[in-house]
Amino acid sequence: MRDHTTTADPDQQQAGIPLFPSPDHAHHRCRNAALQHAARVCKSHGLRLTRLRRQTLEMIWKSHRPVKAYALLAQLSVQRKLAPPSLYRALHFLEQQGLIHRLRSTRSFIGCSHPATTPHSGQFLICIRCDTVAELPGLPITPGTQRTATSLGFAIDRATVEFLGQCQTCRTLAP
């Protein structure tokens, strides 16, 4: 008999990327899975994962906390001379390929935890205390929203929904 773990189990989601990671999880696995996936996506689309694109993605996957463009620029500039437009192009490329998401509220970037389900609307739980972000598995835009938008003649291209709150770890530390 098969065991009853299902693909709905958060820990089984994307090649070992946990939905809401505990502080002591093996993060190098998340990062490696994301980088390997990026390499596969680029190869299958005949696109080049250039050194800058890869380094940018790697830097974004340093943690599950969103990172701002200026911080990325500062970190990447340690390794190489880098003009802001080059970084913006790399970020745009990664976003177009569904490898990262842009969080509007904080103008920052986060690695996509469900890159296989493209295209999807990003729905994020953002901890206001430790900054950890969990991306919920791609949920469809609700029919109600879709209908209203259509009635207004608006074609929804993509959606990003951000929920602010406190993660379990932070709530346990100081409720």
Minimum Å gap between C-beta 69 and Zn ion is 19
Q: Closer CB to Zn ion, residue 15 or residue 73?
A: 15
Sign of torsion over alpha carbons 119, 122, 123, 127: positive
90 touches 96 (CB < 8 A): no
Minimum Å gap between C-beta 4 and Zn ion is 25
46 touches 84 (CB < 8 A): no
Regarding beta strands 122-127 and 160-165, do their DSSP bridges make them parallel or antiparallel, or are they unpaired? parallel
- Does position 129 bind Zn ion by CB under 5 A? yes
Hey, which residues between 24 and 63 contact Zn ion (CB under 5 A)? 27, 30
Hey, which residues between 105 and 124 contact Zn ion (CB under 5 A)? 112, 114
Residue whose entry in the numeric block shows the structure tokens 């900054």 = 131
Single residue of 127, 133, 134, 136 touching Zn ion by CB under 5 A:
127
Q: Closer CB to Zn ion, residue 54 or residue 65?
A: 65
